[in-house]
Structure 1
Amino acid sequence: MLGTPEILRTLVGIESVSSLSNAPLLDEIQSLLEPRGWFIQRFPYIATDGLEKANLLAIPSRFKDALPDVELLFVCHTDTVPFRREWAAATNLTEQDGFLHGCGSCDVKGSLAALISAALQVDTASMKSPVAFAFTAEEEIGCIGATKLAASGAIRPRNVIVCEPTSLHPATAGKGYALAEVNIRGREAHSAFPYRGASAVNAAASFIVKLEHLQKQPAASSDARFTPPVTTFNVGVLNGGTAKNIVAGACSFLVEWRPIPSEDPALGGFILKDIASALSSEHPGCEIEVKVLRTDAGFANPASDLLGATLCRLLNRTEIGISFGSEAARFAAIAQSVVVVGPGDMETAHSERERVPIDELEEWTGIIKHLLLQGLN
């Protein structure tokens, strides 16, 4: 029987960055699960890049008539972020000091390997309740596959475990994700005569300083499950100006914010528009437009939630909140309870430091096996 590290080695060896079709990885998953009595259903679609991607549902064949309603659904995405070609070992899993290193090893092929390993160890005839797996596409570029699957009606789970690296701490709450583009149009002039122009870069600098100052003020609401416990803003990309001796006539930048679950994700957009309005008198020659591109709400389960309590008990760990994005919000709209949990630490993901602890990998495989056999009892 293949162990979890051996399965992970195979999965890491299949390159599955978001710009590629995830079909080869799904083929491998299907080849392992189908002979063990799992019913497989694919949901293909054509992505915006023209490639065919797919979501995949797997459920023991004896429970396939339970679809779309299942007691428990495990969700695991199949894509990874791009990696530098100089990282020679990106798709060659290596072991060092109790960790397995490789692209996707913790985000989230470690969890994927644990799901498959546990399924291979369980006789589906011994399962007490219908448990399904969902393997999704294009999570790393906007949870596209999960959005399609949740909206399709193909699955209506009561409880959902979204696999992401949390060092096996059950995350019963997650911040949302929102994004806006700020475009500033000024007036160009020779830099020797700056009074003839209106610098869009200067207006952008004032905007960013005001946003930074705002974040230093006491927050109206907070949530102790998160670090930091408040909604955060970040300016990650800025472009402006055409030459060193020209007053910049245009500048644009992207602002993302991560709202705590109790806060309307659209609020950040109103804050940005208020800043833009306030700057109109300070920079009269500039026009500032705020275009909100995305407002995804967070998720949160009540303290009495059975799924979170069960996972905390089985893992002997306390609940946390996560500040990074996940597919949880998509499934929270159709499920009673959603928890994010998995081996590894997100702080190593999306980098050449990515790794997953072998002991956490094995522990998570055992927990999945228990949940397959016993459900949430």
Structure 2
Amino acid sequence: MELNQEISQYIRDHSGEALELLTTLAAIPAPSNQEEKRVEFCRSWLRQQGASEVLVDPALNVICPVGNWKEGPVSIFMAHTDVVFPDTDPLPVVRDGNILRAPGVGDDTANLTALLMAAKFVLQRGLSPREGGVLFVANSGEEGLGNLKGSRQLMADYGKRTRQVISFDGGTGGIINRAVGSRRYRVEIRTEGGHSYGDFGNRNAIAVMASLIDALYAVKVPQGGRTTFNVGVIKGGTSVNTIAQQAEMLYEFRSDCREDLEIMERHFQALIAAWQTKGVTVEVQLVGERPTMGPVDPAAQQALVEQICAAIRRWSDQELRLKSGSTDCNIPLSMGIPSACTGCYIGGGAHTREEWLRIDSLEAGLHLAFDLVLQAF
């Protein structure tokens, strides 16, 4: 179905409703693995729009199915509910003229709003997919240690029948069409510790951790693709006059090249083995793993990317940017399913408490989301 004048007028007529929905959603806390409040809101809202069936699966994905989704091939449109912030109280939402500010307001609440509004249109018009079924999914666990739990569950349940996946995530103009894989580890070091004066000379877990971090940062990344690494969190110690008995860190490395990811894994494991010979306890836990690209048909992937590019050109003057990234699309891409990620707003400050978006960009974002969704009908 083409996005005609009538549908465009519908979007304009409902842009105020979309802004109200965004403002409401943005205030609802949704830390990764604690998305229940947004899950319940989305489920209730979709039912109010006329959905005959709304499912919530074990991973806390909210799924609104349309058409022959139980047996036929399915196309999936998704946007994640979780944000990076740990708040369990309402998030602060502030409007300042044409700017709306809130932690997570763009990533990914604006895109979730666009997805929901497109689903509402489909439901209220009683549209049927051209082939098989369509799943509108407000999915969980995209951020941080959510470890793509929602996308994993979707692919476990529907992957064998999935034709393609479009994830609404990020800002308008960006298209993520290649998967950046990653591995994330929690490393804990324990020593005998003691009093800073009376037991001086005992090993300090913080100092041992610091030396390990220094060694990790001395590793030269391989050059097969783009590879990075980072120590994002460090914790440990008891007081200023205590030799630390315990310290821990969160460390990740990522790459858009499968072979380079394995090289980084070998470097990491070699350093851990070396530090385990230093007479201290070193324990390692894999807390997150995201796969890289699988055997995706190049022609099918290119066709999907061109479809998204064309829609962006129709509704935005933003520069097109094809790039690699770590998103919900990692899971279907690793399985060979054509998938890509794009966004429906203009803003900045993602993953900071000062995140913002331009309210006047939302109508074009709705047009983009409707355009891509309605091509399945």
* Corresponding residue number in structure 2 for 1:287: 281
| Residue 197 (str. 1) matches residue 202 (str. 2) | yes
* Corresponding residue number in structure 1 for 2:6: none
Aligned residue for 1:106, secondary structure, equals helix
Q: Which moved more, 1:122-131 or 1:253-262?
A: 122-131
The amino acid across from 2:30 in the alignment is V
The amino acid across from 1:40 in the alignment is E
Change (3 A) 1:25 1:191: same
Change (3 A) 1:328 1:9: same
State, as a whole percentage, how many aligned pairs show the same letter: 22
Among 30, 33, 41, the residue aligned to 1:24: 41
Contact 2:191–2:244 (Cα < 8 Å) also in 1? yes
Q: Distance in 2 between matches of 1:347 and 1:298?
A: 27
Change (3 A) 1:154 1:181: closer
Q: Which moved more, 1:201-210 or 1:151-160?
A: 151-160
Q: CA RMSD in A?
A: 3.4
Among 150, 153, 161, the residue aligned to 2:155: 150
TM norm structure 2: 0.77
* Corresponding residue number in structure 2 for 1:7: 18
- CA shift, 1:74, in A, is 0.6
TM norm structure 1: 0.77
| Residue 352 (str. 1) matches residue 369 (str. 2) | no
Q: 1:140-219 residue pairs with structure 2 within 5 A?
A: 140=143, 141-153=146-158, 156-192=161-197, 196-214=201-219, 217=220, 219=222
- CA shift, 1:26, in A, is 1.7
* Corresponding residue number in structure 1 for 2:5: none
Q: How big is each residue's C-alpha offset from its partner over 1:314-361, in whole Å with a ceiling of 9 and x where there is no partner? A: 3235342254x4221233355621101112468523333223334543
Q: Distance in 1 between matches of 2:79 and 2:292?
A: 18
Q: Structure 2: 5+ residue runs without aligned partners?
A: 1-9, 314-318
Contact 2:224–2:257 (Cα < 8 Å) also in 1? no
Q: How big is each residue's C-alpha offset from its partner over 1:258-284, in whole Å with a ceiling of 9 and x where there is no partner? A: 232434656544322211333466xx3
Q: Distance in 1 between matches of 2:92 and 2:242?
A: 46
- CA shift, 1:193, in A, is 6.6
Q: Which moved more, 1:181-190 or 1:124-133?
A: 124-133
Q: Structure 1: 5+ residue runs without aligned partners?
A: 48-52, 223-229
Aligned residue for 1:135, secondary structure, equals strand
Q: Distance in 2 between matches of 1:299 and 1:4?
A: 37
Among 65, 79, 84, the residue aligned to 2:82: 79
Change (3 A) 1:171 1:359: farther
Change (3 A) 1:120 1:293: closer
Q: Distance in 1 between matches of 2:241 and 2:17?
A: 59
* Corresponding residue number in structure 1 for 2:266: 270
- CA shift, 1:207, in A, is 0.7
